[in-house]
Amino acid sequence: MTAEQTTSPSPATESRAATDRPDGTPHDPYLWLEDVEGDEALAWVRARNAEVADTLETADEFAATERAIREVLDSDAKIPEVSKIGDRYYNFWRDAQHERGVWRRTTLESYRTDDPEWETVLDLDALAAAEGESWVWHGASVLRPTPEQLAAGEPWRHALVELSPGGSDADVTREFDLVEKRFVAPQDGGFHRAEAKGSLGWIDADTVYVFTDFGEGTLTPSGYPRVVKRWTRGTPLDAAVTVYEGTDEDMYISAWRSHTPGFERDFVHRSKAFYSDELYLAERTGTPEQRLTKIDVPDSAEVGVRREWLLVELRDDWTVGGATYRAGSLLAARFDDFLAGDRGFTVLFEPTATTSLAGATWTRHHLVVNVLDDVKNRLHVLTPPDAGGAVGQEAADAPWVRSEIPGLPALGTVAVGAVDPVDTDDLWLVTTDYLTPTTLSLLSLGEHPGDAGAPEVVKSNPAFFDADDMTVAQHFATSDDGTRVPYFVVGRADLVAGTGDGGTGTGTAPTLLYGYGGFEISLTPAYSGALGRAWLSQGGVYVVANIRGGGEYGPAWHQAALKANRHRAYEDFAAVARDLVARGITTPEHLGMEGRSNGGLLAGNMLTQYPELFGAVIVGVPLLDMRRYTKLLAGASWAAEYGDPDDPEQWEFIRTFSPYHLFDAEREYPPVLFTTSTKDDRVHPGHARKLAAKMLGEGKDVTYYENIEGGHGGAANNAQAAHMAAVHYRFLAERLG
């Protein structure tokens, strides 16, 4: 393939008439690049990757950057995050010696030491070598033994391990024996699920729920399971009994069992679309007496059931039982009373102008509510009335008791996770910010309100870069419609201050602005050794914009940028870019931006709608062709976010944020780097390929890199992740100065 051919339509495609297609959509001369592993498409990809190898990767600085990042990723000093399974603490770990990773376990006593003694449970590198497959760890679920089994001393044995070939969302599930540390072969009765999008879930030691590709007609338009079945050990998959079957328009169907002793319940979950779900209490599944009872809450609400309690997190206002509850609120009711028709709720959280619910975590006796207040975390402990010893009517009428956790940081991200929500009130507490290495603490809340002690620091990440002269500032930009948009600025103190705030810098600091703005996902401060080494320590400034479309201020913040209002997210981001210049932190020539996935769509729109604001743009694993996004892989599931391009009225507003169609060969654009993965089966690599090819054909400054493995995350191991990151940072360094 010649250089000329690689930057223009494929010869085979070029010969077709450039007319509209039979379905009325415009002819697309780059459609051939949607053939993920087609010979022509991969030849084009290899040619682009070779250009990167011949340019960015040749500099000494590239090797130094890659090496510095790899040291962070491979460091043995990082916190090994653990999950309690029985009396052991399990961790999945990657480093230089374990490229694909090792699943291992230790005791709490050993974990508390500086050098824990780990027992290997599963070596993924050895497995990949033995089977000739590039396995990527997707996690494991372990069956909790019954109280009777635990009393008899039986071990935690039954695990379901999920592995992906190359990092794709599609994976396999294999049963694993934790005692013998081996897979249970199908011929020995082990549960095995073939490669597909889906999963298995334990019902008991001999029964699982299975939702996967059962053949023609059993997947949703997004490629996810449409059918869930009950599968008994020792029987073929085609003998599994159907529990629930969704419609042709649904997004995902699944089922699971809660194994909390005394509160064992089965549930079927129907995801009709993003932000539209149904949850059913399932009884006697797979039998003629099966009964499904819908949990009667708004489809837009998120529902959780734990022990005797029902929690409802609202995305929209809800009037029920003579009361109206605000969107963003967290409500509680006794589950059995709710099923019996009672619609009285206790409001556990109600949002304000600056606060939103970031999450809620159960321990044995408490609910820990995590709140964002202007993108800073605050924790509150709520204890239900029955946990305090009240009984009967006294318990029904008693309020939830609120208490606080002492010793938490005032700025940064605080996350919590229950150590063992069935048996203890212990919490894992994770604290971090942009300049402070992550710390893992163990916190006991005690059984009663106010019993919480001070957090016990168990592990801390090392400082991977010198942050002594660096600082973090939070500012607010004003968007086109007057909305106040927060953002964080990180870097050397003089640079972050800017010339407009009395800083001593030049006002031309190389600056990377990052954003996402979708799916109600919040961007909160987090430490990154790679960012610190490759960017901040080199005199770069890092900025995170909390634009609309995210969840920083709850559902309303997200819904403000849905569908026809998508432009608000882009206006917010542009406002932050302008504010950085106005503050004298940087200039457009020295300002770069990056976004991934939905953030890649953001980056594509910054590139095509606001090119004058940036000196460089990185578009990672992006959506870009919004005319065809619903036809590509999981794209159909995102219509609730962006709209349906097959509806002519909706296409009229979708086309206003479709970078593939907004590109204008006559305009000047900043240098752009497109990155994606051949194995990305969530966001089709054709998006990045097609816009890159279109821009290259018009002589624009385009760099393109596609990792062969990695899935939507872009990398399947630390080596690939370090290489990809080095490509990003060296591109920015060379373009922004």
Q: Of the candidates 265, 357, 370, 255, which has an alpha carbon nearest to the alpha carbon of residue 308? A: 265
User: What's the token pair of residue 376?
Assistant: 């800073």
Assign residue 10 a region (left: φ > 0; alpha: ψ between -120 and 50; beta: otherwise).
Answer: beta
> Catalytic residue among 134, 164, 300, 597, which?
597
Residue 643 vs residues 314, 630, 647: alpha-carbon distances, Å: 22, 9, 8
Which residues, 6 or more positions from 286, have their beta carbon under 8 angstroms from its beta carbon?
A: 229, 230, 241, 243
> Catalytic residue among 138, 590, 687, 712, which?
712
Would you give the distance in Å from CA 3 to the centre of its chain? Answer: 37
Kindly provide the residue ranges of all beta strands, DSSP E only, lying in 185-313, ordered along the sequence. 192-196, 199-204, 207-211, 227-232, 241-245, 252-258, 265-273, 276-283, 291-294, 302-306, 309-313
Q: CA 272, 680, 213 angle in degrees (round to 5)?
A: 50
Assign residue 12 a region (left: φ > 0; alpha: ψ between -120 and 50; beta: otherwise).
Answer: alpha
At residue 582, what are phi and psi to the nearest 5 degrees? -60, -35
- Is residue 244 a contact partner of residue 253, using CB atoms and an 8 Å limit? yes
Which residues, 6 or more positions from 247, have their beta carbon under 8 angstroms from its beta carbon?
A: 226
* DSSP run (H or E) holding 92: strand 88-95
> Which DSSP string do the residues of 503-536 spell out, in sequence order?
--S-S---EEEE----TT--------HHHHHHTG
SS (H, E, C) 441-488: EEEECCCCCCCCCCCEEEEECCCCCCCCCEEEEEEEEECCCCCEEEEE
Burial class (CB in 10 A: 0-12, 13-18, 19+), 393: exposed
Active site residue 677: no
At residue 597, what are phi and psi to the nearest 5 degrees? 65, -120
Burial class (CB in 10 A: 0-12, 13-18, 19+), 416: buried
Would you give the distance in Å from CA 473 to the centre of its chain? Answer: 25
Q: Of the candidates 730, 513, 699, 515, which has an alpha carbon nearest to the alpha carbon of residue 613? A: 513
Active site residue 687: no
Q: Which residues are known to be catalytic?
A: 597, 712
